[in-house]
Structure 1
Amino acid sequence: MSEEKYKKAARTIVKAGIFPFPINNTMMELLKLLIDEEQLNFIMAFTKKPSQTMEQLKKRSKMSKDEINTHVDKLAKKGFIFNQPNSKGIMVYRLMPLVMVGAFEYTFMKKIEFSKENEKIAILFAKLWDELADFIQDNYDMILPLFQRMLPFDRTVPFLDKNIEGEEIQITINKELEVPEEKVITTQNVEEIIQKFDEIAVGHCFCRHHQDLLSNPCKQTDIRENCFTFGKSAKYVAEQGFGRMISKQEALTILKASEKDGLVHKAWHPHSDISKAETSICNCCKCCCGIFDWWRKGTTAIINSTNFLSYIDKNMCIGCGTCMEKCPVDAIQGDDNNKAERTAEWCIGCGVCAHFCPENAISLLEGMRTVFVPPPRLRK
């Protein structure tokens, strides 16, 4: 009986997210480590509606307020329930998916001891992603249109400071892009984003932390504690022990250290609506970032909102290869003369190439656009 309940709960959790995870043995083994059997009925109360008030939950779950609060307290600490008030001050309880943003992120955002159980959880998450990749590849033609209809997962916030040679990064308007009638103004500087919020929390980078548990440490940076959340997301992170509240000054210090290591700033917005205030900022490396890694493995598309596009002046390029090495999405390759050549459709406008170019041969073209790079088709 409990096996069937876990399957029903798994379907409810998968439905709350955007990825079609298979309900298989790996999923069952993972959920049994993360969720107690007594919590399954409560999770299934979210089957038809992932966000509910207390009164709605009492009606759907047929539980008392005290019983609901007991389940909420336990599941919130595991990253499966987000419990924060809405804009009207009403407490809302939202079932979180496995990923983007859910149990995976919150599990590995907190400081984790290297135990056999935590290693097993990390292995099972990795195995589940591999099995999802198998499903995506086996059903590529059916899944691709679903990705094409999705809104951007995240928004790139570029490096706009001076490059490593102390020279200004040149920015010009991209005249090839059509200017929309209604232009959404987004904050293009991470320092300005930090200054907007009084409540800031920092946790561990869940992607790098996950790879640490898999004995695959990051090759780009030793920084771990640089995943930021803001506002009520920050309150949730601090309350549940996933991170700690910090000052604006400490946040800025961490961001500068992240830039020094070439980490890409990616902002997240509620429901992918970039007109709304940011909820979090990731600082992503090329080797561990989940989206970059899952894309290379054929699991997901890169769907990104950005306001910039790199431009390479080949007359100034000396073919040193720095930009090719640093680009997180491999959008820069060498041409027949070994000079850098950028694939516009892949460029997420992070500015990392411009920041590290020793010849200041790379500038940024300004203009809002959406980057869509489908998952590679790894099977015929």
Structure 2
Amino acid sequence: MSAKVYRKLQQHLDKKTIAFPPTKSGIEIRLLKKLFTEEEAEIALGLKFSWDNLEPLEEIFSRLKHKGKSFEELEENLDNMAKKGVIMALKKGKDKTYGLANFMIGMWDYQVNKLTVDFLKDSIKYLYDSYIQEIGKIPTPQTRLIPVRQDLNFSTKMAPFDDIEKILHSIEGPFMVTNCVCRQGKDLITQPCEMTERREVCISFGYAAERYIQQGWGREIDKKEALEILKKNAEDGLIHQINNAQKPDFICSCCVCCCEAIKILNSLPMPAKFIKSNYYARINSDQCDGCGVCLDRCQMDAITPKSEIFTISKRRCIGCGNCIDYCPNGAIQLKVKRSLYVPPETGGELYEEIINIKNKAQKNDHGE
């Protein structure tokens, strides 16, 4: 029974969320056993996925009441699962709503403040064994990159959905900051972040913030503090990844030493080809004196010396803007790419698009 329910759950998650593929090693089953009890796995088989429209408890009970649980028992089970970070939950007034979570961004991220070494190691193994290859098949990514800083002259050319201050000023809130689970993982294996000593760097807002606040995983803040935290993150050399929407729900501040996605990106010969970003940096050779300050700021190794000045590889530059404000001569400018990428409007629309693409590809694979 144990093996069967976890395999059914793996298949259910692989079908309903963006991906939860099988592996030859069976590491995905080991992860599920760490996350779900058998009873919880059975309940999860009856849940649906939505990023921004979770299902009311009453509807879930109506569908699962044949399993013999009372309304109160099911509610307790779902609340415990949400607290563990294995499903999503959001209380709206007196109404409780629940839904399946992605593995990343989802169950992994919800292990903040309770991550264990075993879960960390199994997650990294699963990431490289199968998960990355599977989500890499989908052309619409979960996240995109926006510049960390913009000078006033350039910001007038920037799309509103790429301007960090305009994004935050357009949002009512609530705002939330939480510890970075990736850096907590590195701390567990005594490989602390080389770029910042701070851990409370991850920002979310709206219903994504409410989910964290209600579970006690993050601290509610105001818009002013959110902007101050993001400014400090930029000063430390971190780069901003947000969910791939015009109206995003979170901002991760990442580094190559702790974020596996950035690490993988750095390992590629042409990182710029594999990230959604509308910008790239360029050095004015007449202003560059070869001081090398920008080298320490670049996480993609995109900057190289040429004679007594530096140049930026357009194939490697991901347009994070990390180098610009720290050039003492103002020799680096952010440029707009010729073709502007316009993301889906909301997080909900983003995941609808991703899952529709995945389902269509699977039908084509099966000749349907």
Smaller-chain TM-score bracket: 0.7 to 0.9
SS in 1 for 2:31: helix
Given that 1:159 and 1:355 are in contact with CA atoms closer than 8 Å, whether structure 2 keeps it comes out as: yes
Q: Is the 8 A contact 2:148 2:240 kept in 1?
A: yes
Superposed displacement of residue 144, structure 1: 9.3
1:220·1:286 contact (CA, 8 Å) conserved in 2?
Answer: no
| Alignment: residue pair count | 332
Structure 1 residue 66 corresponds to structure 2 residue 72: yes
Give a deviation string over 1:288-313, Cα, whole Å, max 9, x none. Answer: 12311233467xx8754434321211
| Corresponding residue for residue 43 of structure 1 | 44
Summarize the alignment of residues 117-196 of structure 1 with structure 2, pairs less than 5 Å apart.
Answer: 118-132=116-130, 136=133, 146-147=137-138, 149-151=139-141, 153-160=143-150, 185-186=160-161, 188-190=163-165, 193=168, 196=171
- Displacement of 1:199 after TM fit? 0.9
Distance 1:121 1:217 in 2: 18
Classify 1:303/1:106 alpha carbon distance in 2 versus 1 (closer, same or farther; 3 Å): farther
* Alpha-carbon shift at residue 102 of structure 1 (Å): 0.6
**Alpha carbons 2:31, 2:123 under 8 Å: kept:** yes
Aligned to 1:214: 189
Residues 238-280 of structure 1 show CA distances to partners (whole Å, capped at 9, x for unaligned) of 1112111123333233222212111112222xxx332xx2211
After superposition, the C-alpha distances for 1:208-243 in whole angstroms (9 at most, x for unaligned) are: 111111221111111100111111111110111211
Matched, 1:248 2:238: no
Letter in 1 for 2:26: N
| Partner-residue secondary structure (3-state), 2:84 | coil
Corresponding residue number in structure 1 for 2:108: 104
Provide the rounded CA distance (Å) in 2 between the counterparts of 1:235 and 1:295: 31
Scaled by the length of structure 2, the TM-score of the pair is 0.78
Q: What is the distance in 2 between the residues matched to 1:281 and 1:307?
A: 17
The alignment yields a C-alpha RMSD, in angstroms, of 3.3
Q: CA deviation at 1:56?
A: 3.8
Cα 1:305–1:57 shift into 2, 3 Å: same
* Distance of aligned partners of 1:120 and 1:47 in 2 relative to their CA distance in 1, 3 Å threshold: same
Contact 1:169 1:364 in 2 (8 A): no
Tell me the equivalent position of 2:292.
Answer: 321
Structure 2 counterpart of 1:93: 98
**1:229 to 2:229 alignment:** no
Aligned counterpart, 2:245: 273
Aligned residue among 289, 300, 319 for 2:259: 289
C-alpha deviation, 1:190, in angstroms: 3.5
Give the TM-score normalised by the residue count of structure 1.
0.75
CA drift of 1:129 comes to 2.0
Conservation of the 8 A alpha-carbon contact between 1:122 and 1:214: no
Amino acid paired to 1:220: M
Shift of 1:14: 3.6
Using the TM superposition, give the Cα deviation of residue 25 of structure 1 relative to its aligned residue in structure 2, in angstroms.
3.2
| Unmatched tracts of structure 2, length 5 or more | 343-368
| Distance in 2 between residues matched to 1:129 and 1:96, nearest whole Å | 16
